[in-house]
């Protein structure tokens, strides 16, 4: 999966978790929580969706790599390269 495809997957997950959010102006370098009303449960929903859809195991110690879209895509690119 390419970085652009991974970004689209994350956008799709965010649309399901926060359907009222406008993601058209999402800044990939700004933390999700600064741009959206996400709480810790929403964040865990993102992790669970990735696990369910792509069987990606993300250890809690790595959650800090999922703060922005840029960091999320960078983290997931090697994990989803064969997806």
The tokens of 33 are what? 């929580």
Domain spans, the chain: 3-79
> Which option is the CATH number for 3-79: 3.20.20.450, 1.10.1200.10, 3.50.50.60, 1.10.8.290?
1.10.1200.10
Largest pairwise CA distance in the chain:
32
What is the per-residue pLDDT across 30-78, written as a single tens digit (0 to 9) for each?
A: 999 999 999 999 999 999 999 999 999 999 999 999 999 999 999 999 9
Q: Which two tokens stand for residue 57?
A: 């195991």
Question: Taking 90 as the threshold, does the pLDDT of residue 83 lie above it?
Answer: no
Contact 72, 49 (CB under 8 A): no
pTM: 0.92
């Amino acid at each position: 999966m390419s970085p652009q495809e991974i970004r689209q997957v994350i956008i799709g997950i965010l649309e399901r978790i926060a359907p009222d959010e406008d993601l058209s102006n999402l800044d990939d370098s700004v933390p999700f929580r600064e741009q959206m009303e996400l709480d810790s449960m929403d964040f865990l929903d993102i992790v669970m969706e990735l696990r369910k859809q792509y069987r990606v195991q993300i250890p809690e110690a790595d959650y800090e790599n999922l703060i922005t879209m840029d960091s999320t895509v960078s983290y997931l690119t090697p994990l989803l390269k064969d997806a």
